[in-house]
Amino acid sequence: MEKLPKVALPVIIFFIIVIVVISKSTITIQGGERGVLYKTLGNGIVTDKPALDEGFQFILPWNTVQRFNVRQQEYFDEMKVLSSNGLDIQLDATIWYQPQQDNLGFLYKEKGIDYLSTIVRPALRSSTREVVGRYTPEEIYSSKRAIIQKEIFDETKAILDAQFVQLNKVLVRDVTLPKTIRDAIERKLGQEQEFLEYEFRLQKASKEAEKVIIEARGKADANRILSASLTDKILQDKGIEATLKLAQSQNSKIVIIGSGKNGMPIILGNN
């Protein structure tokens, strides 16, 4: 009985060591994550192999793993920028981004874990200032917003692609101008709309006048053609045809043959 504790102690110590080694040699990568391996006794961060995938992974106990969220992430920023004529503009933008999975090792090695603050945010702000500085407040506030949004995306993407970050979308959510500038732009836009409406009414009236002229011209041409084609013989035939139809009607009448002008019948009596 006295020897049992002496035998059991090494066994217990052995099992404790095994448990520690196993715990240090395994890691679970959660869904939407990838792991970058750091070799303590090697060359440090591994960049020449793919990142560790989701699930249960075995590593050497003296190595460590840095997890990265590889899902699409959202970042919202409020920025004050200058227009082409030097006016302050408040611009609110949202970007959707995620790390390049094939380059996670380089991202960790060269940019670190907090790449949002060190790369993404500065790139967005720099591109926004560059793009907005090309346009007037009126263009930014009204007609050019979609173009500005695309240019911010293109320039930000060009920066981030070289920094191992994938940019998916840039959304310009709001543009706020000084009140005096905004009121002046809205008045100008209102006047332009009224002018366009007035031009539309003029064009509509002109088209309607043209239509009346064309219709009148067509009727005049038709009357000339009809008049040229109506000879005395045709008129007599039409008169006789009409007389026959009247004579066949149920109403009582007197038809005098050959007493009318040019020998046309005269119809007397109606009812």
Pairwise CA distance, residues 269 & 6, whole Å: 149
166 token code pair: 């994938």
CATH of span 73-177: 3.30.479.30
Distance spanning both ends of the chain, measured CA to CA: 148
Would you say the C-alpha torsion 139, 140, 146, 148 has a positive or negative sign?
A: positive
The answer to whether residues 128 and 93 touch, using CB atoms and an 8 Å cutoff, is yes
Pairwise CA distance, residues 120 & 126, whole Å: 10
Tens of pLDDT along the chain (271 residues) come to 455 566 666 766 766 766 666 666 778 899 999 999 999 888 899 998 889 999 888 888 888 899 999 999 999 999 998 888 888 888 999 999 999 999 999 999 999 999 999 999 999 999 999 999 998 887 877 767 889 999 999 999 999 999 999 999 999 988 887 676 666 666 666 666 666 666 767 777 778 778 778 877 877 777 677 666 656 666 566 666 666 666 666 665 555 555 555 555 555 555 5
Stretch (H or E) spanning 132: helix 121-132
pLDDT at residue 61, as a whole number: 83
Domain ranges of the chain: 3-69, 73-177, 179-229, 232-268
Label the pairing between strands 55-58 and 165-176: unpaired
Single pTM value for the model: 0.62
Q: Which amino acid is at 18?
A: V
